[in-house]
Amino acid sequence: MSTRRPHRILIVEDDETQAQMLRHFIAMWGYEIQVAMTGEDAISALDTYQPDLVLLDLYLPGIPGLDVLKQIREKSKLQDIPVFVVSADDSEEIKIVSMSSGASEFLSKPVVMADLVMKIQTALELLESRRTIEELNRKLEKEKKRLLRYFSEDLVEKILTEEIPAELGGDIVPASVMFFDIRGSTPMAEKMGPKNYATFISDLFADIMDIIFANRGSVNELLGDGILATFGCPVPTDDDAFNAIRTAVDIRTYVQNFNSMVVDKIGYGIGIATGRIFAGNIGSIRRMKYAVMGDPVNAAARIQDMTKELNAPILFDHHSFQPIRNRVRAHSHGHFKLRGKEEVIEILSLDERHPFIDKKLDTEDEPAPQSGLFQMFHERDRFIDG
């Protein structure tokens, strides 16, 4: 059963007989009615009564009807409500002035009641449609903002337009997977305290995620001090491995810039693996989660762990290197058997000074932070002691 209140109609009419006749007839159709006999009363009722539709006589004692109409259109909450001007003066000049001042309809006296009710019903139906659309747009914008925390804008558009299905299940797709992990965070957390450290991590992740999105990646999961990102799903690209490598280089530059401004340096490890993975919605109809699974996901996590023992912050497998071997400079660390895997794979790292063969990529501007984290740590002592 609907709990929506009846629509409210404000009748502004100085002729009491005419006003009561309109009130009686319109109320028969289930509308709430309030009558104002003067322009001043009408303006007061706009705020206290908040009508959904106004029947407005032009010739009123005190403030004229046209001035009332203009004030209605100046109020943000009432700008879109229907206003029917009702007047015995039906000259073309009056009609033009009324409509140009914001009237929705012009009705000549004496009013034909059947026509009036039909016009009221139509106008209020249109008003409700507009309000429903506005509410849906607000919800859509809220949902979009939530999704933008995890996905790039072009991906969010595909999700909202249902180009990416929202049902359980998924597909086996080619993709590059990246694990990013912060190192040396424990001393920093102890020094800052839980609240300040949580703020630091949130701002740091905001910047790292912006870098991922800028390279057409998606954030699949936040893992305490780390991030799981994918390139090639949910939206496929034709350059997944290069986008992942480019992201890693941009993150390296970001961390170097950050560390140049602070006393307590942060370390990091990045592992990248490429192959075919399952990507889709898992769970139940009550609660779903978009997830990625498969050997490349596990391999990326293991490779990220190896950055410590090999003393190289960015490592990737040969499956990531092969499609872009003519575009990046890499050094092999040898062949390794990853924990939990039978296959022996080659592990590589990027050239420290010139990771890209294309010189333009090596000389591009460094990625700028987005969250204000640099500025906050510029006043590091005050932040930590606060």
pLDDT in tens, 131-151: 888 888 888 888 777 777 666
Q: How far is CA 141 from CA 156, 175, 200, in A?
A: 11, 29, 27
Amino acid at the residue 296: P
- Tell me which range, 144-148, 246-250, 254-258, is most confidently predicted by mean pLDDT: 246-250
pLDDT confidence tier of residue 12, bands split at 50, 70 and 90: very high
Residue 324, pLDDT above cutoff 70: yes
Residue 1, pLDDT above cutoff 60: no
Residue 380, pLDDT above cutoff 60: no
pLDDT for res 26 = 92
pLDDT confidence tier of residue 259, bands split at 50, 70 and 90: confident
pLDDT for res 386 = 46
Nearby residues of 220 by Cβ (< 8 Å), 6 or more positions away: 150, 228, 229, 230, 290, 291, 292
Cα(152)–Cα(212) distance, integer angstroms: 8
Residue 316, pLDDT above cutoff 90: yes
pLDDT for res 251 = 94
pLDDT for res 169 = 61
Q: Show the tokens assigned to 249.
A: 């280089």
Q: Please provide residue 329's backbone torsions phi and psi, each rounded to the nearest 5 degrees.
A: -100, 120
Nearby residues of 77 by Cβ (< 8 Å), 6 or more positions away: 50
Residue 379, pLDDT above cutoff 80: no
Mean pLDDT along residues 76-81 = 84
Residue 172, pLDDT above cutoff 80: yes
For each of the domains in the chain, give its residue range(s) and CATH number, in order of start: 8-145 (3.40.50.2300), 167-385 (3.30.70.1230)
| CB 116 within 8 Å of CB 108 | no
Nearby residues of 356 by Cβ (< 8 Å), 6 or more positions away: 249, 327, 328, 329, 362
Mean pLDDT along residues 304-331 = 93
pLDDT for res 382 = 46
pLDDT tens profile 352-375: 888 888 777 765 445 444 455 555
Pick the more confident residue, 245 or 157: 245
End-to-end CA distance of the chain: 54
DSSP helix/strand/coil, 27: helix
Q: What is the mean pLDDT of the chain?
A: 84
Pick the more confident residue, 301 or 291: 301
pLDDT for res 302 = 93
pTM confidence score: 0.61
Residue 384, pLDDT above cutoff 50: no
Angle between helix 65-74 and helix 92-100 axes, rounded to 10 deg: 20
pLDDT tens profile 175-206: 999 999 998 777 777 888 888 888 888 888 88
Closest CA to 146 of 156, 134, 155: 156
Mean pLDDT along residues 290-310 = 89
Cα(370)–Cα(140) distance, integer angstroms: 24
pLDDT for res 163 = 63
| CB 31 within 8 Å of CB 7 | yes
Mean pLDDT along residues 76-98 = 89
DSSP helix/strand/coil, 328: strand
* 323-333 burial: b if 16+ Cβ within 10 Å, else e: bbeebbebeeb
Nearby residues of 55 by Cβ (< 8 Å), 6 or more positions away: 9, 10, 11, 12, 13, 22, 84, 86
Mean pLDDT along residues 60-68 = 90
Residue 4, pLDDT above cutoff 90: no
Mean pLDDT along residues 96-103 = 91
